[in-house]
Amino acid sequence: MAYEHERWRVEPGTRPDLDGTDARGTGGAPGDKEATVEVSRGLVAELSEHQNRLWAEQRRSLLVVLQALDAGGKDGTIRKVFTGVNPQGVRVTSFKEPSSEELRHDFLWRVHRQVPARGEIAIFNRSHYEDVLVARVEGLVPKATWRHRYARIREFEELLAGEGTQLVKLYLHISKDEQRERFQARLDDPSKRWKFSAGDLRVRERWDDYRAAYLDAIEETGTHDAPWYVVPADRKWYRDWAVLQILLHHLHRMDPQYPAEEEGLDRVVIT
């Protein structure tokens, strides 16, 4: 089966046109919201089947990197897209501000410890890319340091790919207006206020700086083995469908298989 993915793929070494990409776009969707949600239910079941085979095979792994500006929908994507998978074979890691111990090591130390083992799907909610995004925009390290990290990231991802890990890097592209609406919705709902902090507004003021940092990071680190995808994410139902299409494309190409059964099992009778 062919799955849509080229629509959102960024050609390695090129700079995505975020200004020219409609964050509310729904190109390629199988229909309106209701129809697309229905199709996505079937795709979730397909993802679960592929994940079961990957877990049983125990030879390769999948690493999904989720990046977005604040309120971009990383948590929601994880909930909706991976809702039907076997939790035994899936791990989610959220990378927040480095601890004092992590700061005593190289910037990839804490990341390498969380990559998927054979058979696993690992999902990074934020990732090593924070070290060329936040570190750059907030001036946490000198320019020479964060620029040098692009090469280290490419080498790190090349190592993972060479060891059997398929990387899929997703930038969830939301508009500034949509971010404002999502922030306001969090403030209006007492059960969601925990997701908002005053610091979010300070980061929002640097919207253009973060966008520029993302553009450079995507251009510098997209490769054949570790491609970037820019997914319009203002419409959550479209975002989920697109992410499922991309993941299933790669899993279909990987084509994990159940291990061969022991000989003679067809003659075994349980008494």
251 burial (CB, 10 Å; 0-12 / 13-18 / 19+) is: buried
User: What pTM did the predictor assign?
Assistant: 0.95
Helix (H/G/I), strand (E/B), else coil: 166: strand
Q: What is the CATH number of the domain that holds 18?
A: 3.40.50.300
Q: Is residue 239 part of a domain?
A: yes
Q: Is residue 270 part of a domain?
A: no
Q: Which residues have C-beta within 8 Å of that of residue 46, sequence separation ≥ 6?
A: 248
Q: How many contiguous H segments (helices) and E segments (strands) does the chain have?
A: 10, 6
- Count the domains in the chain: 1
Helix (H/G/I), strand (E/B), else coil: 124: strand
CB 51 within 8 A of CB 262: no
Residue 144's pLDDT is 97
Q: Is residue 266 part of a domain?
A: no
Q: How does residue 260 score in pLDDT terms, banded at 50, 70 and 90?
A: confident
Question: Residue 46 and residue 78: Cα distance in Å, rounded?
Answer: 16
Question: Residue 43 and residue 237: Cα distance in Å, rounded?
Answer: 13
Residue 110 vs residues 93, 103, 162, 184, 239: alpha-carbon distances, Å: 11, 9, 20, 33, 29
Helix (H/G/I), strand (E/B), else coil: 187: helix
Q: Is residue 267 part of a domain?
A: no
Query: Tens of pLDDT along 98-107?
Result: 999 999 999 9
Q: Is residue 95 part of a domain?
A: yes
Containing structural domain, residue 220: 9-255
For all residues of the chain together, what is the average pLDDT?
96
Q: Is residue 268 part of a domain?
A: no
Candidates 237, 242, 234; CA nearest to 168 is 242
Q: Is residue 78 part of a domain?
A: yes
Query: Tens of pLDDT along 142-181?
Result: 999 999 999 999 999 999 999 999 999 999 999 999 999 9
Question: Residue 48 and residue 53: Cα distance in Å, rounded?
Answer: 9
Structure tokens at 91: 């791990």
Please give the share of the chain, as a percent, with pLDDT higher than 70. Answer: 100
| Mean pLDDT, residues 48-61 | 97
Residue 198's pLDDT is 85
pLDDT of 73 > 80? The answer is: yes
Q: Is residue 57 part of a domain?
A: yes
